[in-house]
């Protein structure tokens, strides 16, 4: 009886494990490996809303150029941070399911590059030759903790300043984009324009939300300085010591005190509605924000929006990378796919399909990208504007826990603006809550 019981218990355990594993991998285990004709099928796991990585047109081009390789292009989930990232960690831990090529968003690049044992060294397939084609900061973020080349850049956000021409006109400001760009070469001048705007265009505020402007300024300041934001390169928590963070935090407080912020939460209904109804006059604009503004503002605002340069000139928000997990059974072919999707042809294909701005130098300076204009935004030469913002951008380092800390400290900024915290206790709360996240992550 005793041994029987032991055996059945073990069998039960085995069955449970088998069921768990089957459930975890059933979605991805069926079509790996070669087909009958010796073909290799590569699984490309990505994420994102709308066009996502926008590879629908370039993958057939890759397949045509590489007979014998097929690509199974998947958009696994809409959001990266709380959907795709945990899923990817699960795949890496389980040792299967991640496929051959995976997309990694800026928010998670620090965390995933801190796990070097899971990434194939792409230099062994010659991809290190691509180094000169990328801005230094984009290239460096794709190096893992051991310093090996683990991921190559796809697109970048870049940075510009979108503004409402109709509100600017009401406030007696120039509306031509070159004149507007000339109004605010620095952030101090941006603030001054805000003050002269205030009260002249009805209830409209000058800036959309505390966190858009905080992010735009913080990343730019970090780039100009040593590239550090919340963590140093040894993984130490330095949020409270980084000048870029403090400068940007204080700047948001200054804007709040001067009454220039609409004080909305990014992505909230009120924020969306504000774009349509003219609740604010400016919004920090990475390239992907153009689509967000267009979608929220609707046809009736076509021509009301325009794009100017961002104060300080440079900036970036967002963008992704492609890496090859070590669990891939076809790393050589996978590296070929990464090479193709991140080169000029692949990046321009994605740009044409989904507007994803090329991160490579050859891609972003190609005439087709450089002369691109956006009809909705009064024919603004977006290709040139975003290209310039990225070319002069300086490297920024993201720590292992960057995105978790970021999520929490941005809530504190919003809390100060909404009145949950006073400004006096704001900075202490800001640094303390960030530290708490680090503790919760396990130090």
Q: Binding of another protein at residue 408 (CB under 8 A)?
A: yes
The CA R_g of the chain, rounded to the nearest whole Å, is: 24
Give, as ranges, the residues between 314 and 333 that touch another protein (CB under 8 A): none
Q: Binding of another protein at residue 441 (CB under 8 A)?
A: yes
Cβ 211 to another protein shortest distance, Å = 11
Q: Binding of another protein at residue 270 (CB under 8 A)?
A: yes
**Choice between 299 and 439, CB closer to another protein:** 439
**Choice between 153 and 274, CB closer to another protein:** 274
Q: Binding of another protein at residue 27 (CB under 8 A)?
A: no
Cβ 45 to another protein shortest distance, Å = 15
Give, as ranges, the residues between 363 and 382 that touch another protein (CB under 8 A): none
Q: Binding of another protein at residue 407 (CB under 8 A)?
A: yes
Among 62, 118, 214, 317, which residue interacts with another protein (rule: CB under 8 A)?
A: 118
**Choice between 66 and 326, CB closer to another protein:** 326
Residues 53-90 as b or e (16 or more Cβ within 10 Å = b): bbbeebbeebeeebeebbbebbbbbeebeeebbebbbe
Give, as ranges, the residues between 54 and 83 that touch another protein (CB under 8 A): 81-82
Contact 333, 42 (CB under 8 A): yes
Cβ 103 to another protein shortest distance, Å = 17
Among 58, 92, 239, 337, which residue interacts with another protein (rule: CB under 8 A)?
A: 92
Half-sphere exposure of 85 (CA within 13 A, CB side): 19
Phi-psi region of 150 (alpha: psi -120 to 50; beta: other; left: phi over 0): alpha
Q: Read off φ and ψ for residue 14, nearest 5 degrees.
A: -60, -45
Q: Binding of another protein at residue 411 (CB under 8 A)?
A: yes
Cβ 54 to another protein shortest distance, Å = 25
**Choice between 186 and 268, CB closer to another protein:** 268
Q: Binding of another protein at residue 50 (CB under 8 A)?
A: no
Tell how far CA 50 is from the center of its chain: 15
**Choice between 73 and 427, CB closer to another protein:** 427
Cβ 8 to another protein shortest distance, Å = 10
Cβ 371 to another protein shortest distance, Å = 38
Among 136, 250, 269, 332, which residue interacts with another protein (rule: CB under 8 A)?
A: 269
Give, as ranges, the residues between 171 and 230 that touch another protein (CB under 8 A): none
Among 29, 124, 196, 420, which residue interacts with another protein (rule: CB under 8 A)?
A: 420
Q: Binding of another protein at residue 12 (CB under 8 A)?
A: yes
Using CB under 8 A, count the residues that bind another protein: 39
Q: Binding of another protein at residue 313 (CB under 8 A)?
A: no
Measured CA to CA, the distance from residue 216 to residue 317 in angstroms comes to: 7
**Choice between 33 and 86, CB closer to another protein:** 86
Among 24, 56, 69, 115, which residue interacts with another protein (rule: CB under 8 A)?
A: 115
**Choice between 428 and 440, CB closer to another protein:** 440
Cβ 239 to another protein shortest distance, Å = 16
Neighbour count for residue 160 (Cβ, 10 Å): 29
Among 65, 129, 176, 267, which residue interacts with another protein (rule: CB under 8 A)?
A: 267
Q: Binding of another protein at residue 86 (CB under 8 A)?
A: yes
Q: Binding of another protein at residue 18 (CB under 8 A)?
A: no
Give, as ranges, the residues between 227 and 266 that touch another protein (CB under 8 A): 265
**Choice between 127 and 252, CB closer to another protein:** 252
Q: Which residues bind another protein (CB under 8 A)?
A: 12-13, 15-16, 19, 81-82, 86, 89-90, 92-93, 111, 115, 118, 265, 267-270, 273, 404, 407-408, 411-412, 414-415, 418-421, 429, 436-437, 439-442
């Amino acid at each position: 009886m005793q041994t029987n019981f032991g055996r059945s218990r073990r069998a039960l355990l085995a069955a449970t494990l088998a069921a768990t594993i089957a459930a975890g991998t059933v979605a991805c285990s069926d079509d790996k490996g070669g087909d009958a004709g010796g073909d290799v099928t590569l699984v490309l796991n990505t994420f994102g809303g709308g066009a996502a990585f926008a590879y629908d047109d370039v993958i057939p081009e890759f397949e045509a150029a590489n007979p014998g390789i097929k690509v199974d292009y998947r958009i696994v989930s809409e959001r990266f941070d709380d959907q795709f990232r945990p899923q990817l960690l699960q795949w890496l831990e389980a040792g299967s399911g991640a496929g051959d090529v995976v997309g990694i968003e800026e928010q998670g690049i620090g965390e995933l590059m801190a796990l070097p044992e899971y990434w194939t060294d792409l230099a062994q397939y010659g991809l290190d030759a691509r180094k000169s084609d990328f801005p230094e900061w984009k290239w460096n973020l794709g190096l893992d903790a051991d310093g090996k080349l683990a991921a190559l850049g796809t697109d970048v956000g870049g940075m510009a300043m979108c503004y409402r021409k109709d509100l600017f006109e009401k406030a007696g400001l120039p509306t031509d984009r070159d004149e507007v760009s000339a109004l605010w070469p620095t952030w101090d001048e941006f603030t001054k324009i805000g003050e002269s705007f205030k009260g002249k265009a009805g209830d409209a505020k000058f800036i959309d939300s505390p966190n858009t402007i905080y992010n735009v300024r913080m990343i730019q300041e970090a780039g100009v300085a040593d590239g550090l934001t919340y963590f140093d390169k040894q993984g130490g928590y330095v949020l409270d010591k980084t000048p870029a963070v403090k400068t940007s935090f204080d700047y948001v407080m200054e804007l709040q005190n001067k009454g220039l912020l609409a004080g909305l939460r990014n992505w909230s209904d009120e924020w969306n509605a504000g774009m349509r109804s003219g609740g604010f006059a400016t919004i920090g604009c990475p390239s992907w924000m153009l689509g967000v503004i267009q979608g929220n503002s609707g046809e009736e605002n076509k021509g009301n929006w325009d794009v100017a340069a961002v104060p300080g000139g440079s900036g970036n928000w967002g963008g992704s990378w492609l890496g090859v997990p070590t669990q891939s059974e076809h790393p050589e072919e996978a590296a070929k796919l990464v090479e193709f999707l991140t080169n000029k042809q692949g990046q321009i294909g994605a740009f044409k399909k989904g507007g994803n701005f090329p991160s490579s130098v050859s891609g972003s300076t190609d005439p087709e990208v450089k002369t691109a204009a956006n009809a909705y935004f009064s024919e603004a030469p977006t290709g040139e504007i975003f290209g310039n913002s990225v070319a002069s951008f300086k490297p920024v380092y993201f720590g292992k826990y960057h995105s978790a800390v970021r999520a929490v400290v941005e809530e504190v900024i919003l809390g100060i603006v909404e009145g949950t915290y006073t400004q006096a206790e704001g900075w202490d709360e800001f640094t303390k809550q960030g530290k708490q996240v680090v503790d919760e992550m396990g130090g």
